[in-house]
Amino acid sequence: MKVKYQKNLGILYKTRHVLGKKSLIQLYFSFINSYLNYGNIAWGSTHKTKLEKLHKKQKHAARIIHFQSKFHHSQPLLMNMKALNIFQLNLYKHSCFMYQIQKGLTPKAFQNVFTITNNKYSTRSCGSFYKPFYRMSSSRFAISYRGPSIWNKVSTFKPLLQVKSYQEFKTLVKTNILAFSLDEVLNLF
């Protein structure tokens, strides 16, 4: 993936003087974001330090598109492109997956992995997903732990739970995640 990513950064760099910004953003979403997006729940659920190299490449791509130096802050550039950084993208993918789980839109094999806590009393955790206990810290990157952990934090935003369609949820959760700073996203990680 690193070789393909580097090659696609080269394409962006060589075409930035020929194409307009809109076309460069389309190239970014075609060549770079598609690699970050594919299977992100599986490979993106890891330590922050392992994703940092990809994050640096993503910031480099944003600076190429906007003709900025390597010292320019990249988060406003990514926000201008309406692109999620690698950490935000992982949160987004997990949130969308857990929404599908909650609404019963996934195969039964996934439905049996997650349980919703139901108490006879109205408590804070009533209706949230149960997080299993793992002894090893590396097990906390499994979807069975990470998915409920992220969903229980995301579900505190009441407007997200009141949406009617999956498409509406995706749009609303993306705009909420884009509003987070990198530190806030890393705290959720």
Give CA–CA dist 181/90, Å, rounded: 15
The pLDDT assigned to 189 comes to 60
The pTM of the full predicted model, rounded to 2 decimals, is: 0.86
pLDDT for residue 1: 64
Helices 86-103 + 48-65 axis angle, to 10: 110
Q: Which residues contact 105 (CB under 8 A, 6 or more apart)?
A: 166
Residue 1's nearest CA partner among 50, 76, 54, 74 is 54
Per-residue pLDDT of the chain (189 residues; tens, 9 = 90+): 667 778 888 889 999 999 999 999 999 999 999 989 998 998 888 888 888 999 999 999 999 999 999 899 988 999 899 999 999 999 999 999 988 988 888 888 887 787 776 666 555 555 577 677 777 877 788 888 888 888 888 777 777 777 888 999 899 888 888 877 666 666 666
Contact 81, 65 (CB under 8 A): yes
Burial string for 34-69 (b: 16+ CB within 10 Å, else e) reads: eebeeebeeebbeeeeebeebbebbbbbbbbbbeee
Q: What is the pLDDT of residue 119?
A: 60
